[in-house]
Amino acid sequence: MTTEKMNLIEKLYQTHDLSDDGFLCLLGGMTEAETQLLYEKARLAATKIYQKQIYLRGLIEFTNICKNNCFYCGIRRGNTNVHRYRLGEEEIVACAKKGYALGFRTIVLQGGEDPYYTDEQICSIVRKIKQECPDAAVTLSIGEKEHDSYQAYFDAGADRYLLRHETADEKHYGMLHPAELSGAHRKRCLRDLKEIGYQVGCGIMVGAPYQTREHILEDIRFMQELQPHMIGIGPFIPHKDTPFAKEPAGTLSDTLALLGILRLAFPNVLLPATTALGTIHPQGRELGVLAGANVIMPNLSPTSVRKDYMLYDGKICTGEEAAECHHCIERRMERIGYQVVVERGDYRE
């Protein structure tokens, strides 16, 4: 029997858009048969453009020092239980080289908003990585900066920038962040980055405290306007030392459903099956790929600091070496019929 939601899934697959009511209907939950149809169509949409290829991004979490105090985040300024660390330029470049030797062709530098690193230092790190790993892309994920700083990193060779918008709704943004941060500024950063020429990634946490279906609809409308190259979504997971310690985590089914919906709405987008998804379910990342994701971001940080970059409780892969993570993902993808490739994995038009 064909249901209304099945018709909506087919329409989204064909046209990449729905009315507000159509999206809200799909976001309201699906039966098993509807869910399976969504995943099937999402896989079809992804493989039409990216075949059964999975791109890896090697993540270097180079500082857990942050001047911000986001209510959900384990490394927020106000958490005094964190052992803080910073990696030096040489250590960062060494991690990148190690990743390159393992076959990573994208290096992601992520960290808290740590004023210790000047623009010149970030530029120098980017330049060195580009020198050592010439055919690799460099992605930055270091938060909100001024236009000129973004321009300088780009001129130094940075290719991509990840900055989740967290929620497109200004009021909801205010419930997740202290008053000194604004959703409007975060959106402006994303527009600046796009205008400069970066491949840009935005995104949200699924099941973030106070999130409603209407918020997710607003997120989709914002993304339609921004036209990002990447969309990072993963479940919200509480961290014991944050104001949201007692809030429930986002669910596997909601995250997978949103991955499927986003793949149909943005067929060309690079869509990671995130570490947070792997944290709430042992096969979370495989299930993410089977719901339309095509990117995985294994950890390249030195094992000595991994446990200190604890954004949420229970984060996986904090004990493994980079090589182990790489092989583990390769095997996991092979088992579900996908292949990890040694490529930059740029956005395909």
Q: Determine if 305 is a binding residue for ligand SAM (CB under 6 A).
A: no
List the beta bridge partners of residue 204. Answer: 166, 233
How many CA atoms, within 13 angstroms, populate the side-chain half-sphere of residue 292? Answer: 32
CB atoms within 10 A of CB 1: 4
State yes or no: residue 112 binds ligand SAM (CB under 6 A): yes
| N residues, the chain | 349
Instruction: Name the segment binding ligand FES (CB under 6 A); options: 37-45, 68-76, 273-281, 328-336.
Output: 68-76
Q: Do 206 and 237 meet the contact criterion of CB atoms below 8 Å apart?
A: no
Contacts of 190 (CB under 8 A, 6+ apart): 163, 165, 200, 202, 226, 228
73 near ligand SAM (CB under 6 A): yes
Number of shown-chain residues binding ligand FES (CB under 6 A) = 8
Give the torsion sign (CA, 213, 214, 217, 219): negative
Compute the chain's Rg from CA coordinates.
Answer: 19
228 part of the interface to ligand FES, by CB under 6 A: no
Judged by beta carbon, residue 157 or residue 243, the one nearer ligand FES is: 243
Site string for ligand FES, 84-123 (x = CB under 6 A): ----------------------------xx----------
Q: From CA 6, how far away is CA 35, in angstroms rounded? A: 9
If one asks whether residue 66 binds ligand FES (CB under 6 A), the answer comes out as yes
> Which of ligand SAM, ligand FES, none does 76 bind, CB closer than 5 to 8 A by kind?
ligand FES
Q: What DSSP character marks residue 8?
A: H
- Pick one of 76, 215, 326, 332: the residue that binds ligand FES (CB under 6 A): 76
Label the pairing between strands 339-341 and 295-296.
Answer: unpaired
Q: Select from 158, 143, 165, 147 the least CA-distant residue to 221.
A: 165
Print the binding letters for residues 270-299 with ligand SAM: x by CB under 6 A, - otherwise: ------x-----------------------
Q: Does 340 bind ligand FES (CB under 6 A)?
A: no
Contacting residues toward ligand SAM, per CB under 6 A: 72-73, 110, 112-113, 141-143, 163-164, 166, 205, 234, 236-237, 239, 276, 311-312
Contacting residues toward ligand FES, per CB under 6 A: 66, 68, 70, 73, 75-76, 112-113
